[in-house]
């Protein structure tokens, strides 16, 4: 009930083992209080999420400043070099992000459905990745704030492409920006 910061674990869907940790870092005490007392404003508050391996080595960092209307979330690599950012689209208002590379070029769009939590990453109007929310059972859904998402990136996206990191970061943003 008194959760102010966001923390996630990433599991391998086959083995069910934890493979990554996502931890919110450097949360200002003022924003902690706002998040606890006025939960409707939680998605407007700044955040900094660091995603690291089990060894503690940083993989990417997501950072959002204070946003009253349309948030911009920056994505940094393990060396804090900007690799891209997301912007929530105003129209249509339903679960949509635009994804940009480090130079500000549009590289993908995230489109969600009106009902449910299914998302497609589109590149040139072709689906290159999907995110689906997995049902966790009535007990977990009703009595916790835990959500489970499955990210599936098609083989068309090169294994070394920064787009894969941007997609992964977008999944965190689905939960923190759209689902709050």
Domains identified in the chain and CATH numbers: 7-178 (2.40.160)
Are 88 and 99 within 8 A, CB to CB? no
Are 43 and 180 within 8 A, CB to CB? yes
Q: Determine the pLDDT at residue 158.
A: 92
Q: State how far the Cα of 115 lies from the Cα of 94, in Å rounded to an integer.
A: 10
Q: Determine the pLDDT at residue 141.
A: 43
Name 179's Cβ contacts closer than 8 Å, sequence gap at least 6. 117, 147
Per-residue pLDDT tens listing for the chain (180 residues)? 455 677 888 888 889 899 999 988 777 778 777 777 776 677 778 888 999 999 999 999 999 888 777 788 999 999 999 999 998 876 655 567 899 999 999 999 988 875 667 889 999 889 999 988 876 555 444 444 557 888 999 999 999 999 999 999 988 877 666 655
Q: Determine the pLDDT at residue 150.
A: 87
pTM, to two decimals: 0.81
For residues 71-96, b (16+ Cβ closer than 10 Å) or e, as one string?
A: bebbbbbeeeeebbbbebbeeeeebb
3-state secondary structure of 57: coil
Q: Determine the pLDDT at residue 82.
A: 97
Conformational region of residue 122, where left means phi above 0, alpha means psi within -120 to 50, and beta covers everything else: beta
Q: Determine the pLDDT at residue 1.
A: 43
Name 156's Cβ contacts closer than 8 Å, sequence gap at least 6. 128
Q: How large is the C-alpha radius of gyration of the chain? A: 16
């Amino acid at each position: 009930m008194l959760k102010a910061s966001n923390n996630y674990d990433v599991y391998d869907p086959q083995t069910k083992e934890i493979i990554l940790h996502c931890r919110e870092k450097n949360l200002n005490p003022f924003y902690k209080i706002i998040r606890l007392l006025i939960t409707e404003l939680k998605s407007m508050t700044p955040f900094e999420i660091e995603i690291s391996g089990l060894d503690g080595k940083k993989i990417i960092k997501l950072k959002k400043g204070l946003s009253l209307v349309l948030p911009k979330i920056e994505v940094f690599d393990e060396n804090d070099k900007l690799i891209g950012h997301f912007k929530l689209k105003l129209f249509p208002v339903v679960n949509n992000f635009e994804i940009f590379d480090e130079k500000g070029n549009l590289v993908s769009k995230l489109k969600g459905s009106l009902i449910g939590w299914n998302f497609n990453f589109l590149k040139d109007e072709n689906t290159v990745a999907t995110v689906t929310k997995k049902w966790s059972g009535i007990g977990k859904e009703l009595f916790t704030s835990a959500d489970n998402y499955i990210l599936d990136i098609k083989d068309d996206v090169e294994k070394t492409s920064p787009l894969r990191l941007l997609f992964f970061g977008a999944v965190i943003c689905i939960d923190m920006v759209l689902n709050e």
